[in-house]
């Protein structure tokens, strides 16, 4: 979306009778947040909610990507003699704030303009800047909005409508995006003055807390993974991607990995899981398993079913990180280049095996620690 769209919208909004009132959601959310503290508002627009929180004694940082809104937020805060720090911020990028530096992150109709990957990263940044026990509150478009399903669909629940792109949340998708928060409020009963005038009364509301402490693990997490090979001009290459979800896996965020994922579908055949993870993480299609070895399927009671298989190797996390244990296969895929997918990884690319070997020998910290044992097996055979 271009800056001119936002400029036009803010020029329109400043003429509305509701633009200087605190939003309905702000007045609802304040009962869930601490009585004092530092609040970051994302997409503050002309700052009416920031001024409302500032008038209640909170220390406010109001952010927006659009200069017209920022200038209006500044001038109106000065007119009302409330202290609001105004900062330009593009939510598609990493926030310029220290980790654990805010007691509250608040977003009123500003989180629903991004694709899935950007939304996940954005919420990861929100969790990063919140203090333990800090509150995250937002209101966003709902799949029950009359506009849902119009325009051109870019990805599930994300549409290009006219000159704008919009994501539509449901209780289910909001719960997925906020899975690392403790939920205090989640429903589709949100209202705004602007949308109520159009008969829309079902926006998604969420209020939750960043946990004070990480929850203890009670069981191991099974996973499958794929070392994907190809020959390119006589050079053997493997596919690597970057782990980036710092909140799901802070120990290994930023390291390079081969595609892997949890076996989170009961009774799913392990080979189907491998194929699914390859498709979901890098958009490629599994073609063959190198050295595939499996038994026939057994069904002694007629209703049960089991089989045996030999992966290339297994790895297990014995300390720190998460208690992973899994099965790694060496795979070939149908020809093609990886593409960005809705996953916890990014920047998938083909890398010569010799470069990965050098990294393994000289800079192993650059590789996902759980996969280092698999690389040792792999390089002993290649």
Within 8 A by CB and 6+ apart from 176, the residues are: none
What's the mean per-residue pLDDT of the chain?
A: 90
Give the pLDDT score at 9. Answer: 53
For the stretch 216-235, pLDDT in tens is 888 999 999 999 999 999 99
For the stretch 97-153, pLDDT in tens is 998 999 999 999 999 999 988 898 899 899 989 999 999 999 999 999 989 999 999
Q: Which residue has the higher pLDDT, 214 or 47?
A: 47
CATH topology of domain 221-381: Nucleoside Triphosphate Pyrophosphohydrolase (3.90.79)
pTM of the model: 0.67
Within 8 A by CB and 6+ apart from 234, the residues are: none
Q: Is the pLDDT score of 92 beyond 80?
A: yes
Residue ranges of domains in the chain: 3-209, 221-381
The CATH code of domain 3-209 reads: 3.40.50.150
- Are 3-209 and 221-381 the same fold in CATH? no
Q: Is the pLDDT score of 356 beyond 90?
A: yes
Q: Is the pLDDT score of 20 beyond 90?
A: no
Within 8 A by CB and 6+ apart from 1, the residues are: 113, 163, 164, 165
Q: 8-17, 26-35, 250-259: which range is least confident on average? A: 8-17
2 — pLDDT class (breaks 50, 70, 90)? very low
Q: What values do phi and psi take at 203, rounded to 5?
A: -70, 155
């Amino acid at each position: 979306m271009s800056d001119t769209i936002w400029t036009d919208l803010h020029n329109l909004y400043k003429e509305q009778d509701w633009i200087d009132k605190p939003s309905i959601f702000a007045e609802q959310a304040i009962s869930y947040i601490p009585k004092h503290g530092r609040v970051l508002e994302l997409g503050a627009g002309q700052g009416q909610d920031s001024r409302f929180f500032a008038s209640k004694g909170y220390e406010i940082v109001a952010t927006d990507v659009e200069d017209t809104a920022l200038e209006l937020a500044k001038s109106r805060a000065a007119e009302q003699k409330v202290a609001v720090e105004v900062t330009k911020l593009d939510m598609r990028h990493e926030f310029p704030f220290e980790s654990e530096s805010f007691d509250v992150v608040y977003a009123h109709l500003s989180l629903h303009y991004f694709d899935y990957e950007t939304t996940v990263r954005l919420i990861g940044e929100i969790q990063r800047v919140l203090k333990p026990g800090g509150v995250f509150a937002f209101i966003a478009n709902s799949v029950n909005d009359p506009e849902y399903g119009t325009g051109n669909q870019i990805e599930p629940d994300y549409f290009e409508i006219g000159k704008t792109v919009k994501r539509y949340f449901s209780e289910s998708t909001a719960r997925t995006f906020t899975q690392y928060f403790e939920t205090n409020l989640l429903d589709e009963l949100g209202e705004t003055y602007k949308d109520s005038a159009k008969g829309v009364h079902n926006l998604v509301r969420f209020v939750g807390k960043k946990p004070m402490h990480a929850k203890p693990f009670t069981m191991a997490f099974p996973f499958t993974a794929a070392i994907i090979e190809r020959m390119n001009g006589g050079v053997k290459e493997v596919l690597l991607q970057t782990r980036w979800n710092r909140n799901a896996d802070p120990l290994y965020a930023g390291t390079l990995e081969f595609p892997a994922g949890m076996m989170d579908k009961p009774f799913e055949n392990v080979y189907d899981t491998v194929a699914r993870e390859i498709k979901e993480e890098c958009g490629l299609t599994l073609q063959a398993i190198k050295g595939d070895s499996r038994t026939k399927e057994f069904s002694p009671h007629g209703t049960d079913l089991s089989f045996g298989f030999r992966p290339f190797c297994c790895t297990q996390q014995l300390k720190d990180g998460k208690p992973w244990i899994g099965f790694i296969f060496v795979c070939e895929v149908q020809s093609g280049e990886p593409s960005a997918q809705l996953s916890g990884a990014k920047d998938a690319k083909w890398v010569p095996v010799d470069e990965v070997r050098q990294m393994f020998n000289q800079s192993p910290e650059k590789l996902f620690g759980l996969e280092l044992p698999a690389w040792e097996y792999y390089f002993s055979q290649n």
